[in-house]
């Protein structure tokens, strides 16, 4: 049985045992069911589901933290009489593939103040983004790659960077 379906079944069973099928009881049942699935992932065959849900919650926390920090930075830039903005356009090689993951990546990047996804290369392997408030091109790259790393964990895909710890060769001269 799939992990999500099993979790929903456990939530419904909990609500029925509680004697009240309400949103509150379903949420409590889903939480208890997830805890059960996380305790016995090998026996229940739910390791992938537990990993993706944990990564999704981690991604949500990461995004909210980054969103808050970026909003504070942009507010501080706006309050300065002469903000030290260094606008730049960066090209970031991507590992994510497919319309859904690429759309999610660009939406998250664009939602964070200071960065705007501009588009992709023809082969959709390079993202072009506009960034302000980062000290250099490498920092802008790392910020986008951190979002991509978290997204790859949610999608349960390999997250190794294939030797891309620094800025790509095309952008290195822009720093």
Assess if residue 72 is contained within a domain.
no
Domain check: are 145 and 91 in the same one?
A: yes
Strand positions, DSSP E, 76-131: 88-93, 115-120, 126-131
Q: What is the CATH number of the domain that holds 170?
A: 3.30.70
Domain check: are 95 and 31 in the same one?
A: no
Domain check: are 26 and 97 in the same one?
A: no
Determine the structural domain holding residue 39 and report its residue range: 3-44
Assess if residue 65 is contained within a domain.
no
- Kindly report, residue by residue over 105-163, the tens digit of the pLDDT: 998 888 877 788 998 999 989 999 998 877 788 888 888 998 898 888 888 776 665 44
Instruction: Pick the more confident residue, 170 or 143.
Output: 143
- Whether residue 168 is predicted with pLDDT greater than 60 in this model: the reply is no
Assess if residue 158 is contained within a domain.
yes
Assess if residue 55 is contained within a domain.
no
Question: How high is the pLDDT of residue 161?
Answer: 56
Dihedrals φ, ψ of 156, to 5°? Answer: 60, 45
Domain check: are 97 and 26 in the same one?
A: no
Assess if residue 52 is contained within a domain.
no
Assess if residue 8 is contained within a domain.
yes
What is the pTM assigned to this prediction? Answer: 0.69
Number of domains in the chain: 2
Question: How high is the pLDDT of residue 71?
Answer: 82
Domain check: are 39 and 93 in the same one?
A: no
Average pLDDT of the residues in 14-22: 90
Q: Return d(Cα 13, Cα 135) in angstroms, integer.
A: 53
Question: How high is the pLDDT of residue 159?
Answer: 62
Q: Return d(Cα 102, Cα 121) in angstroms, integer.
A: 12
Assess if residue 73 is contained within a domain.
no
Domain check: are 34 and 93 in the same one?
A: no
**Which pLDDT band holds residue 165 (cuts at 50, 70, 90)?**
very low
């Amino acid at each position: 049985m799939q992990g999500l379906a099993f979790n929903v079944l456990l939530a419904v069973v909990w609500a029925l045992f509680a004697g009240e099928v309400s949103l509150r009881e379903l949420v409590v049942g889903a939480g208890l069911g997830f805890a059960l699935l996380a305790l016995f992932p090998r026996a229940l065959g739910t390791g992938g589901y537990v990993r993706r849900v944990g990564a999704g919650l981690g991604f949500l926390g990461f995004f909210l933290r980054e969103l808050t920090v970026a909003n504070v930075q942009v507010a501080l830039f706006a309050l300065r009489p002469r903000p030290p903005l260094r606008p730049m356009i960066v090209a970031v090689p991507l590992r994510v593939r497919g319309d859904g993951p690429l759309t999610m990546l660009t939406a998250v990047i664009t939602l964070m103040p200071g960065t705007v996804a501009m588009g992709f290369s023809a082969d959709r392997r390079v993202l072009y983004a506009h960034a302000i408030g980062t000290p250099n091109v490498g920092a802008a790259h790392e910020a986008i790659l951190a979002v991509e790393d978290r997204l790859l964990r949610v999608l349960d895909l390999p997250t190794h960077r294939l030797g891309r710890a620094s800025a790509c060769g095309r952008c290195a001269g822009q720093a």
